[in-house]
């Protein structure tokens, strides 16, 4: 993909993830093509994600109209348009009734000898936030080596079973534009 390749994206909101210095990579640098491919793929992905949101909005607008059609014409089955068979599907998803809690459903399942459908779980998002807060609180001791690893901040039993190693990824974000006068 060359720099002239048209992409499906617009500027969108500026990310605020990276605040450090970032030098402009010259095309003569051997790794330029690698960085360029990543940057262009990231920009294209973002554009496609925005386009997907628009497509999902359109589907949300027409779906109720099609449900009304199929409800009014139950004999019609499926309709083929643009090589797609469009039809109404009804599928059950068991979930707590409005006004009932997940715990009430779990209790009712156990009382009905259906406890094998109940599994204990933890909320990884909340737990990850807690571990990040611990890491932030003890940042000085971790960086000095006084505390060896983030896992050492956890109770011993929890540290035995919980992985708190960071997930590392490569991220591309738009450069912040300098305002005139700055």
Residue by residue, pLDDT tens for the chain (182 residues) are 344 444 444 444 544 567 778 888 899 999 999 999 999 999 999 999 999 999 999 999 999 999 999 999 988 888 898 888 999 987 888 888 899 898 899 999 999 999 999 888 778 888 899 999 999 999 999 999 999 999 999 998 888 888 998 886 767 667 666 666 65
Provide long-range contacts, Cβ within 8 A and 24+ apart, for 165-169. Answer: none
> What does the domain layout of the chain look like in residue ranges?
1-15+25-91, 93-121, 124-161
Q: How far is CA 63 from the centre of its chain?
A: 25
pTM for this structure?
A: 0.58
* 40 class by beta-carbon count within 10 Å (0-12 exposed, 13-18 middle, 19+ buried): middle
86 and 80 Cβ atoms separated by less than 8 Å: yes
């Amino acid at each position: 993909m060359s720099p002239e390749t048209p992409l499906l994206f617009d500027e969108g909101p500026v990310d605020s993830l990276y605040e450090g210095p970032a030098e402009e990579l010259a095309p003569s640098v051997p790794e330029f093509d690698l960085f360029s491919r990543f940057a262009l793929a990231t920009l294209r992905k973002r554009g496609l994600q925005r386009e997907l949101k628009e497509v999902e909005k359109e589907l949300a607008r027409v779906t109720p109209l099609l449900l009304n059609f199929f409800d009014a014409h139950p004999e019609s089955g499926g309709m083929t348009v643009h090589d797609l068979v469009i039809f109404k599907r009804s599928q059950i998803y068991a979930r707590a009734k409005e006004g009932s809690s997940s715990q009430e459903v779990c209790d009712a399942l156990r009382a009905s000898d259906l406890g094998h459908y109940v599994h204990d779980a933890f909320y990884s998002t909340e737990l990850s936030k807690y571990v990040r807060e611990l890491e932030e609180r003890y940042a000085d001791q971790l960086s000095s080596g006084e505390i060896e690893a983030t896992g050492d901040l956890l109770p011993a039993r929890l540290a035995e079973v919980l992985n708190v190693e960071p997930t590392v990824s490569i991220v591309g974000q738009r450069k912040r534009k300098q305002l005139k006068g700055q």
